[in-house]
Amino acid sequence: MGCIGCSCSTGKDSTKGCKSNGGCATGGCNRHNTYDWITAQGIADPRPFDAVEVSFKNGSRKEFFKNLQHTRATTGDWVVVEATGGGFDVGTVTLTGELVRLQMKRKRVRQDARLGQVVRKAHERDLERLDEVRREERDILIHARAIARSLDLNMKIGDVEFQGDGRKCTFFYTADGRVDFRELIRHYARDFKVKVEMRQIGARQESARIGGIGNCGRELCCSTWLTEFKSVNTAAARYQNLAINQTKLSGMCGRLKCCLNYELDTYIDALEDFPDRAERLKTNAGLAILIKTDVFKRLMFYTYAEDRGKFYPIHVDQIWEAIAMIKSGKFPESLDHILSMAPVVETDEPEEAEPDFENVHDVIQLPMEKRNKRKKNRNKNRDRSQSAAAAVEKASQNDSAQGRRQAPAPRRHDRPQSGGSQGGGNRPPQNRPDRRPNKDGDNEKKS
C-alpha cells in the first residue's frame, strides 16, 4: 500500500498510491508526504478544525485552506481550491483536524489568518486537465531555459509548475544576485500564452523540488521530510574528524550536506571528555604529536615527530595522567610509559561465549579426495616441450650455418711454412716491424 497523500494516483483510488501506476514519475511517494494517522485509524476528531492542508505537485508545495462543511473533503481527496493570484488549482488533502492545527502552529501560521477556500471535490475532467498541463511542463522548462540563455541572463530555471486550470505558470529560478527579467517575462508570455510568475529560490530549495538520490542510496532528505534548512559549516566536519574534501562533503545542491548536523551534538558531547590542548606531548624519547582521534572508542593515536613509523593508541584517561605529570614538571619517558600509566577502561561488551560443541578435529579425519588426472594437459605440455626443443635445435643449426659462412679466411702470414726456421714454427710477419720507443721518446727501428 502506498502513501495516502501520493499524487501519482489517477484519482480513482488514491489509497493505492504509486504501486498502482508502476512507480512515481517525480521522485517517489515519500516526497514531503504526511501520514494522517487519526483518519487512517478511523478515530473521530473530538475538536473539529475547519482548515485542511493541501499538497500540490506531489508535495513540492503545501498550503492551508478553509474546508467548508458542504465540501466534506477528507484526507486523500482531490479538491479544487482558490488560487492566490486568481483562478483555481487542484491538489490533494494530506491532513485534517487536530493535526492541521499543530502544523499551522509549527509553521507559525495564525489560526485567524485569511486563507483560501476549498471549492469542491475534483472530478474526472479536473484531473484530466491537471495531467495535461503536467505533461507540458518538461517541454516548457527546456524552452524557457533556451530563451533565458539567448538573453544572456545569469540565472538558471530550475522548475516549472502550472496551475490546475492551466492559466498561470510559475517559473522557479536560482541566481547569485538580482536579475532584470522584464524582457524575459515578455518572451514567456508571448510564447506560452499564460500568466507568468517568476520566483527566486535557493540551491537547497531547488534540490528539494527536483529530488534525487544521495550517495547514501536514499532519496534526498530535503525532498522527502526535511522542511527547515539550517546553516552548515566546515566546523561540523572537523568535530566529526572528517577530511575537508569539498567534493565528498557537498550534496546534490552544491552546498555542504545537511546530514553533517544530524550527529553533531553527539560528537560535541563525546568530545567534552577529551583534553583541549593535547596535540603535542613532550617526552624524554622525543616530541609526540597527535595523528587522529577515535571519539567513541575514546582513543588518541600518537606518534613521534622524528620517527612516524609506529602509531600508539592511547586511552584518553592515560592522556590526562600524562598532562598532569607534565604540568607538575616531570616528563614521561616515552609513549610506552604513558600506556602503562593508568589502566584502560574495560568495555561493557559481552564476552564471546564458548561453543557448546565438541572439537572433533583430531578424532575424525576426512579421507583425501580423489581427483581424476587430466591427460589433456599432459599432452599439451608434452607438445609444448617438443615444439620448444625443435625451435631451439633449429635456431642452433641456423647459428652454426651462419657462423660457417662468416668465418674469415686465414691470412698469408698465419699459415705454417715448411722452411726458413729451425724449429718449424710460425715466423713473425716481416711487414710489421717491432717499434719500441727509446728513452729519448723517438721511435726507431732496431738494428
pLDDT at 309: 82
Domain membership flag for residue 372: no
Query: Are residues 71 and 152 both part of a single domain?
Result: no
Predicted confidence band at 125 (pLDDT cuts at 50, 70, 90)? very high
Give per-residue pLDDT as tens, 154-194. 999 999 999 999 999 999 999 988 889 899 999 999 999 99
More confident residue, 191 or 28: 191
pLDDT at 383: 64
Q: What does 141-187 look like in DSSP terms, one character per residue? A: HHHHHHHHHHTT-S-EEEEEEE-TTSSEEEEEEE-SS----HHHHHH
Query: Are residues 151 and 236 both part of a single domain?
Result: no
Pick from 277-281, 318-322, 384-388, 442-446: least confident? 442-446
The last residue of one of the domains, among 74, 96, 122, is: 122
Pick from 246-255, 336-345, 370-379: least confident? 370-379
Query: Are residues 27 and 104 both part of a single domain?
Result: yes
Domain membership flag for residue 351: no
pLDDT at 24: 47
Domain membership flag for residue 361: no
Domain membership flag for residue 26: yes
Q: How far is CA 396 from CA 383, 391, 399, 407, in A?
A: 20, 9, 5, 16
Query: Are residues 288 and 329 both part of a single domain?
Result: yes
Please name the residues in contact with 210: beta carbons below 8 A apart, sequence gap of 6 or more: 27, 158, 159, 223
Query: Are residues 235 and 314 both part of a single domain?
Result: no
Question: Among 17-21, 135-139, 222-226, which range has the highest average pLDDT?
Answer: 135-139
Query: Are residues 59 and 147 both part of a single domain?
Result: no
Domain membership flag for residue 8: no
The alpha-helical segments, DSSP class H, found in 262-354 are 264-270, 316-327, 335-339
Q: Give yes or no for a contact between 220 and 207, defined as CB atoms under 8 angstroms apart.
A: yes
d(CA 333, CA 340): 11
Dihedral (CA of 405, 408, 414, 418) sign: positive
Query: Are residues 64 and 115 both part of a single domain?
Result: yes
Q: Spell out a b/e string for 20-50, using b for 16 or more CB atoms within 10 Å of the CB, else e.
A: beeebebbbbbbbbbebebbeeeeeeeeebe
d(CA 8, CA 55): 12
Give per-residue pLDDT as tens, 391-409. 767 777 766 655 555 545 5
Pick from 25-29, 292-296, 318-322: least confident? 25-29
CATH label of the domain that carries residue 142: 3.30.300
For the record, the C-alpha cell of 236 comes out as 561540523
Domain membership flag for residue 385: no
pLDDT at 359: 60
Query: Are residues 197 and 287 both part of a single domain?
Result: no
Query: Are residues 61 and 76 both part of a single domain?
Result: yes
Pick from 27-31, 184-188, 382-386: least confident? 27-31
Domain membership flag for residue 393: no
Say yes or no to pLDDT of 53 above 70: yes
Give per-residue pLDDT as tens, 57-80. 888 889 999 998 888 888 889 999
Domain membership flag for residue 157: yes
Averaged pLDDT for residues 291-308: 89
Mean pLDDT in the chain? 79
Query: Are residues 22 and 78 both part of a single domain?
Result: yes
pLDDT at 357: 61
pLDDT at 20: 41
Query: Are residues 85 and 49 both part of a single domain?
Result: yes
Give per-residue pLDDT as tens, 185-221. 999 999 999 999 999 999 999 998 888 898 888 889 9
| DSSP class of 432 | S
More confident residue, 161 or 368: 161
Domain that holds residue 23: 17-122
Give per-residue pLDDT as tens, 79-105. 999 998 888 999 999 998 888 998 999
Domains in the chain, number = 4
pLDDT at 21: 41
User: How much of the chain, in percent, has pLDDT values that exceed 70?
Assistant: 72
Say yes or no to pLDDT of 282 above 60: yes
CB atoms within 10 A of CB 271: 14
pLDDT at 44: 77
d(CA 210, CA 226): 14
Query: Are residues 26 and 96 both part of a single domain?
Result: yes
